[in-house]
Amino acid sequence: MGQFQQDRGETVMLQFCLASPITMNNALYSRIANRKVWLIVLMARFSKGGNFKYRMAQCMMGRYGIDELTQALMLLGCGFVLVNFFAHSGILSVFALLFMALGIFRCYSRNIAARSRELAKYQDAMVKPKAWWRLLNKKWVNRKTTIYFKCKGCGTVLNVPKGKGKILVTCPKCGAKEEKRS
C-alpha cells in the first residue's frame, strides 16, 4: 500500500496486486508498477465522485447530441473505412473522413434548430426504404406460411396463406378482386 500526492493536494491510496519481485525481472516489475500507478491516478482523477460524467455532461450542455442521422453518418463513415481497408483507395478515405467529421460536427453543434430540420428531412427520405426493408424482413420470416403479392389496382401489398389452393382475394384499400393460387 502506498500513497501518491495529486496536483490538487488530495492523497490517493494505491494498492498493487502484482507478483512477487523475486519471480520477475526488477526492470520489468518497475515498468508494470509505473503503468499501474498512472492508470490508477488517471482513474482516480476522472472518476472521483462522478467527475468524468459531470465534465462530459457539462461539455455537451446546449449541444445537439447524437440522433438517428448522426448515427447513420458515423456508420457510413465506418463502412467506408472497412471497404477502404481492402480497396486501399484515397477517395474512400476522404469519404470516410468526411462522413465521420460531419457526424461529429452535428453531435457538437449548438444550432439545434438547423440540426432538427436536417433530421426531419432525413427521416422523411428514409420512410420508403425502411418500409421496404420491413416488408422484406416480414417476407423472409413468413416465407413458409404466407405468399405476398401486390394489388393490381392500387399496389398495396397483400398476403394469403400457403396451401389453400385458388383463393379470391379482395383488396381492403381499393376493393379490387383478384384470384390467386397459394
What would the pLDDT profile of 131-170 be if each residue is shown by its tens digit? 999 999 999 999 899 988 888 888 888 888 888 888 888 8
Higher pLDDT, 125 or 42: 125
- Reported as a pLDDT band with limits 50, 70 and 90, residue 39 is low
pLDDT of residue 16 exceeding 70 = no
Report the pLDDT value the prediction gives residue 14, as an integer from 0 to 100: 43
* Helices 112-125 and 127-141, axial angle in degrees (round to 10): 50
Is it the case that residue 70 has pLDDT exceeding 80? yes
C-alpha grid cell, residue 85 = 481497408
- Per-residue pLDDT at 121 exceeds 80: yes
pLDDT band at residue 50 under the 50/70/90 scheme: low
In this structure, the number of other CB atoms found within 10 A of the CB of residue 64 comes to 21
Q: Is the dihedral of CA 98, 99, 105, 106 positive or negative?
A: positive
Any idea where the domains of the chain sit in the sequence?
Answer: 2-60, 68-125, 143-181
pLDDT at 24: 46
Residue 4 pLDDT greater than 50, yes or no: no
Do residues 100 and 75 touch, judged by C-beta distance below 8 A?
no
